[in-house]
Amino acid sequence: MIVDVSKKPDVYRYARASASASVQICNTAAAVRAAVVASRYLPFLHPLPLTASAWCRDGRLYVEGFTEWQTGVEMDVLFGALVGLIGSGAVKIEDLAVEIKLKNLAQALSEAALTETALVREGGLTASAYGVMKMKNYNVVKGPVEKGHPIYAAQTAAALNAKRLCELIGGPCPSIQYLKIDIDVRESVEVSVSIKARDFTPAPEALFATGVALLTIWDMAKKYEKDDSGQYPNTHIKLLRLE
């Protein structure tokens, strides 16, 4: 289920997320586009009138978002950073994290000249990806929370979204014939995804599905991950990579 936020007041909400990857040009346009429509892909996000911006500096993509609404925007900008780097051709993404989130404070977004890049598909018709996320409370992931069971929801979200990356970054959509996802929770949350397609390499989709699974878990457990000031000092996706 989606948590009822209808009784919350509309207040100013701002967040900035970032991640590192070795890419020649950042697809900041895809990052902004994804942040604005993140609720269509992460199953428990509420739709909101988000304004977003993105830029790259020193091998890191930054995405920020602002709204006056009932819910926060940190998951939206995390999703934007994920999609922006996959759309930039990244095969390894590191330290996907929320840098800061603010509440009750009007915030002007940074001006950025957005760049659109075409996704280059390289590889065979089978692809595998791996991701690992560090958290404060791993026990929350292992059982049901208010929104449902994090692992089951993440598996479903990954399978559904593997077919939808092309909606965000354009280009051909692979005809996926097979998808397998495993999630293991010990001293970290580890996700492995394998995909087989009929026509185009599904390598970007494997990376995307892995990231979506981890972000779904983060979103469902975020109530237990925040510190007293509402930040996430102990929570970040340490690594996403193609195998």
pLDDT digits (tens, 9 = 90+) for 208-230: 999 999 999 999 999 999 999 99
What CA–CA distance (Å, rounded) separates 17 from 63? 5
pLDDT of residue 7: 82
Domain range for 177 is 11-242
Q: Assess if residue 1 is contained within a domain.
A: no
Q: Which residues are catalytic?
A: 219
Q: Assess if residue 6 is contained within a domain.
A: no
Query: Which run of H or E residues covers position 195?
Result: strand 189-197
Residue with the two structure tokens 């690594």? 239
3-state secondary structure of 140: helix
Q: Assess if residue 65 is contained within a domain.
A: yes
**What CATH number should be reported for the domain holding residue 205?**
3.30.70.640
Is 93:19 a contact under the CB 8 Å cutoff? yes
> pLDDT tens digits, residue range 92-109?
999 999 999 999 999 999
CB atoms within 10 A of CB 237: 26
Alpha carbon 239 to its chain centroid, in Å, reads 12
Q: Which residues contact 223 (CB under 8 A, 6 or more apart)?
A: 145, 146
Q: Assess if residue 18 is contained within a domain.
A: yes
pLDDT tens per residue, the chain (243 residues)?
A: 678 887 889 999 999 999 999 999 999 999 999 999 999 999 999 999 999 999 999 999 999 999 999 999 999 999 999 999 999 999 999 999 999 999 999 999 999 999 999 998 989 999 999 999 999 999 999 989 999 999 999 999 999 999 999 999 988 899 999 999 999 999 999 999 999 999 999 999 999 999 999 999 999 999 999 999 999 999 999 999 999
pLDDT of residue 2: 77
Q: Assess if residue 62 is contained within a domain.
A: yes
Is 125:197 a contact under the CB 8 Å cutoff? yes
Q: Assess if residue 107 is contained within a domain.
A: yes
Q: Assess if residue 131 is contained within a domain.
A: yes
Query: Which run of H or E residues covers position 205?
Result: helix 203-225
pLDDT of residue 171: 85
Residue type, 51: T
- How many independent structural domains does the chain possess? 1
Q: Assess if residue 5 is contained within a domain.
A: no
